[in-house]
Amino acid sequence: MSANPNQQNIAESLTQVPSEFRYLIKGDRKQRIMASMVVVVMVAFYLLGLYVLEINPLRIITGLGELGKIVWLMLPPDPETWERAIRLLFSLIETISIAFLGTLLAAIIAFPLGFLAARNIVSLRLPQFMMRRGLDSIRGIDTLIWALIWINVVGLGPFAGVLAIMCSDIGSFGKLFSEAIEAADRKPVEGVKSAGGSHLDTIRLGIIPQILPVMLSQVLYYFESNTRSATIIGIVGAGGIGLYLAEQIRTLEWQQASFSILLILIAVALIDALSSRIRFAIIGGQQQ
């Protein structure tokens, strides 16, 4: 006699479960072995990476003291003179302008490209596919690399920065726009078409009203993240506050550097708050 009749009942009903579902109850041993294998391999790769790159955790620990020293030297943030503070503020405005112009130009250029890369607009598969792949390739090159290229073409300064941001964002916007176009509801398009609208009419009246708010919110989001990118590309010489920051770090002017960083943080926070408000207003407008 079993001490626990319940256990016996469970064992009994388990035999009635079709064999292909039994693993759901007993657990598939093979799957568990596979899962632990994956974990072991990943840990091995990680350790290999540490070895190849000669990463020594001790160096971080000894370096921590150095980091603390730098932070100490940074306090309090101080531009030293008013004149310098104003110059930094203007270069910050330059950075924001680079981000704004670059994003806006990219959006304007990507707008028609997005349509050309959308499957529901261009019925010929090959050109549509090539446009999509082309946008992917542009997107694959980082803003920083575009900046280095454009500096060689148009020289140091904010213009190179604008072109760098524009180039890398054309790819991103083109892809995002074309995906928004492909996700658009087909019914309004059919409505316009059934009334005798041309292909262009169906795009203008059936699709654009649907996707415009989505596009606007994407552009705002990118403007926000491009303010950060514009700082980085400034470091390689494409204008803006990044140029000053790089100089301050190189000459060990830590208090000035921390003042620049503080300015950037405040600007990014402000743009972030503002753009999320605008984006919410655009998208939320649907439920009004």
Partner 1 sequence: MLRISNLSKKFGTKSAVDNVSLDVMRGQFIGVIGRSGAGKSTLLRMINRLAEPSSGSIVWDGTDVTRLKGRELNEWRRRSAMIFQQFNLVGRLDVLNNVLVGRIASTPTWRSMLRLWGDDNRTIALAALAQFDMAGYAAQRAEELSGGQQQRVAICRALLQEPDLILADEPVASLDPRNTKLVMDALLRINKHFGITVLCNLHSLDLARTYCDRLVGLSHGKLVFDDVPEALTDSIARELYGIESDDVLAKQPSTPISDFVPAAAVA
Note whether 200 binds partner 1 by CB under 8 A.
yes
Note whether 134 binds partner 1 by CB under 8 A.
no
The site map against partner 1 for 27-66 (x = CB under 8 A) is ----------------------------------------
Closest CA to 214 of 173, 248, 250: 173
Q: How far from 204 is each of 189, 214, 223, 232, CA to CA, in Å?
A: 9, 15, 26, 38
Note whether 123 binds partner 1 by CB under 8 A.
no
Note whether 111 binds partner 1 by CB under 8 A.
no
Q: How far is CA 45 from the centre of its chain?
A: 27
Planar angle of CA 117, 212, 277, nearest 5 degrees: 130
Nearest CB to partner 1, comparing residues 210 and 225: 210
Q: Which of 209, 251, 265, 273 binds partner 1 (CB under 8 A)?
A: 209
Which range, of 107-115, 134-142, 195-203, 239-247, touches partner 1 by CB under 8 A? 195-203
Closest CA to 169 of 140, 132, 130: 140
The span from the CA of 179 to the CA of 219, in Å, is 14
Note whether 87 binds partner 1 by CB under 8 A.
no
Note whether 157 binds partner 1 by CB under 8 A.
no
* Interface positions, 249-288, toward partner 1 (CB under 8 A): 286, 288
Note whether 190 binds partner 1 by CB under 8 A.
yes
Q: Which of 96, 164, 192, 230 binds partner 1 (CB under 8 A)?
A: 192
Smallest distance, partner 1 to C-beta of residue 185, A: 8
Nearest CB to partner 1, comparing residues 63 and 209: 209
Note whether 112 binds partner 1 by CB under 8 A.
no
Which range, of 24-32, 79-87, 119-127, 207-215, touches partner 1 by CB under 8 A? 207-215
Nearest CB to partner 1, comparing residues 115 and 150: 115
Residue 115, CB half-sphere, CA atoms under 13 Å: how many?
A: 14
Smallest distance, partner 1 to C-beta of residue 280, A: 17
Using CB under 8 A, list all residues that contact partner 1: 185, 187-188, 190-198, 200-201, 204-206, 209-210, 212-213, 286, 288
